[in-house]
Amino acid sequence: MPRSSYYRWKDTRASPTSLRRRELTDQVRTVFESSDGIYGQGMVHAKLATAGVDVSVGTVASIMAENGWQARRIWSSKI
């Protein structure tokens, strides 16, 4: 690879889409971790929507999957 290609790549700025994805990933992480890993994609989406974040369930699911965040089931004997 020519040296100029490296410097052109190095100097490129992040796209608005990638910046938005990073922002959404931080927000999804915050909601997921605040639930102690119990919330699935639907509940994380609902909490974000309640907070006024405009994101689809599919995007939340995709972010959770790519980061390995999966809801844990809690079994209670008090049913």
What would the pLDDT profile of 17-73 be if each residue is shown by its tens digit? Answer: 999 999 999 999 999 999 999 999 999 999 999 999 999 999 999 999 999 999 988
Q: Which residues contact 41 (CB under 8 A, 6 or more apart)?
A: 57, 60, 61, 64, 71
CB 57 within 8 A of CB 39: no
Q: From the centroid of its chain, how far is CA 51?
A: 15
pLDDT tens sequence across 11-30 = 788 889 999 999 999 999 99
